[in-house]
Amino acid sequence: MIKKYNIAIVGVTGVVGETMLSILEERNFPVNNLVLLASERSSGKEYSFKYQTLIVQTLNENSFNNIDIALFSAGGNVSKQYAQIAVESGCIVIDSSSAFRMDSDVPLVIPEINPEAIRTHKGILANPNCTTIVTLMALNPIRKFSRIKKIIASSYQAVSGAGQEGINELKKQNKAIVIGEKLQAKYFSHQIASNLIPKIDQMTENGFTGEEMKMVNETRKIFGDNDIKISVTCVRVPVYTAHSVAVTIETQKKIPINKVRELIENAEGIELLDEPSNEVYPMPMLAEGKDNCLVGRIREDLVFENGISLWVSGDQVKKGAALNAVQIAEKLIDE
């Protein structure tokens, strides 16, 4: 008989939380009892799960009694307040915020890349930043063939990466353009419709943003290589779902482009779309709703000696957040 587990989703009413709920059902995760948790203002909201109606409960210090695994997706402050309480209640936490990612005692996991890290957990496992996940899914097959020395990446990040508020703002601004009304920027620092904003998160002392430094630091931790030189520019774009990243890398040894395509085509969790002469390449509209990340525009770089340039698109709500968290839980119970 398959063992079943008591699961809690913290922050179920958010974009990622709702997606976690649907993925648990899609993948037939062995759920015994499912508890939906959110803030008091969302208490009482109803969701369906496997022909049941589940009612959202208010998150409190007693929410984790008899829970085996808690999927957190309610922001860093909530994670900092409640994750350790959950662990002390005998629960294992898989956290999707940035609260614990760089904690040396907390594994930062992409199951296709470093599943062995799960075994070292002390009650909390961290889900990487969505852009990090999408990017590293494309790079990992190459890294396994030859060490990556340098990474230069520019991200094109959908508004849903900023949550429901980001989605709502783009919808309102697009509507305002159509009907000729004045546009208002409330959630983002500038108009996002028909625009690009080259700043995500707060600025840091070195001139990079917090989002950019997340990619730098998380990549080194996940790949287990603190000597990789990495430079990132993160840009918010007027796309609803799916992040895209233009990446150039330098590898230790030269890899023929046909070999790169072969490595990517045979890798788990990614799909090769690389026929640009036939207009076949990854785009956000193709990645939306997909579990796999899409990789294409693979070519030999014109700057680095052993350089490779590529383009990747991935649904940052699914693989970049909710799906990756559920996959961590699946690996956890496999262990």
> In the chain, where do the E strands start and end?
5-10, 31-38, 46-49, 52-55, 57-58, 69-72, 92-95, 124-126, 148-157, 229-236, 243-251, 270-272, 293-300, 307-314
Of 60, 57, 69, whose CA–CA distance to 31 is shortest? 69
Residue keyed to tokens 């015994």: 32
Q: In this predicted structure, what is the pLDDT of residue 16? A: 95
Distance of alpha carbon 7 from alpha carbon 30, whole angstroms:
9
Answer whether CATH 3.40.50.720 is correct for domain 5-127+321-334: yes
Q: In this predicted structure, what is the pLDDT of residue 335? A: 80
Residues 132-317: name the CATH superfamily: Dihydrodipicolinate Reductase; domain 2 (3.30.360.10)
Based on the residue annotation, tell me whether 293 is a catalytic residue of this protein: no
Q: Strand order in 293-300's β-sheet? A: 229-236, 148-157, 243-251, 307-314, 293-300, 270-272
Distance of alpha carbon 103 from alpha carbon 281, whole angstroms:
37
Q: Give 95-119 pLDDT, tens digit per residue.
A: 999 999 999 999 999 999 999 999 9
Q: Give 153-178 pLDDT, tens digit per residue.
A: 999 999 999 988 999 999 999 999 99
Question: Average pLDDT in the 264-287 region?
Answer: 98
Q: Give 210-249 pLDDT, tens digit per residue.
A: 999 999 999 999 999 999 999 999 999 999 999 999 999 9
Q: In this predicted structure, what is the pLDDT of residue 57? A: 97
Distance of alpha carbon 183 from alpha carbon 160, whole angstroms:
19
Say if residues 36 and 9 touch (Cβ distance below 8 Å).
yes
Distance of alpha carbon 107 from alpha carbon 83, whole angstroms:
14
Tell me the whole-structure pTM to 2 decimals. Answer: 0.96
pLDDT band at 2 (very low <50, low <70, confident <90, very high): confident
Based on the residue annotation, tell me whether 121 is a catalytic residue of this protein: no
Question: Average pLDDT in the 33-55 region?
Answer: 95
Q: In this predicted structure, what is the pLDDT of residue 163? A: 87
Q: In this predicted structure, what is the pLDDT of residue 3? A: 93
Residues 6 or more apart from 179 whose CB is under 8 A from it? none
| Angle between helix 257-265 and helix 130-145 axes, rounded to 10 deg | 120
Residues 6 or more apart from 277 whose CB is under 8 A from it? none
Alpha-carbon torsion, ordered 98, 76, 285, 164, to 10 deg: -170
In the predicted structure, residue 312 carries a pLDDT above the cut 80? yes
Q: Give 60-87 pLDDT, tens digit per residue.
A: 999 999 999 999 999 999 999 999 999 9
Say if residues 312 and 142 touch (Cβ distance below 8 Å).
no
Distance of alpha carbon 308 from alpha carbon 151, whole angstroms:
10
- Catalytic residue, candidates 91, 130, 234, 293: 130
What is the residue-averaged pLDDT of the chain? Answer: 97
Of 263, 231, 248, whose CA–CA distance to 312 is shortest? 248
Domain boundaries, the chain: 5-127+321-334, 132-317
Distance of alpha carbon 328 from alpha carbon 109, whole angstroms:
7
In the predicted structure, residue 30 carries a pLDDT above the cut 80? yes
- Catalytic residue, candidates 91, 121, 234, 243: 243
Q: In this predicted structure, what is the pLDDT of residue 1? A: 75
Give the chain's largest Cα–Cα span.
61
Helices (H) then strands (E): counts for the chain: 8, 14
Distance of alpha carbon 208 from alpha carbon 201, whole angstroms:
10
Percent with pLDDT over 90 in the chain: 97
Distance of alpha carbon 137 from alpha carbon 118, whole angstroms:
18
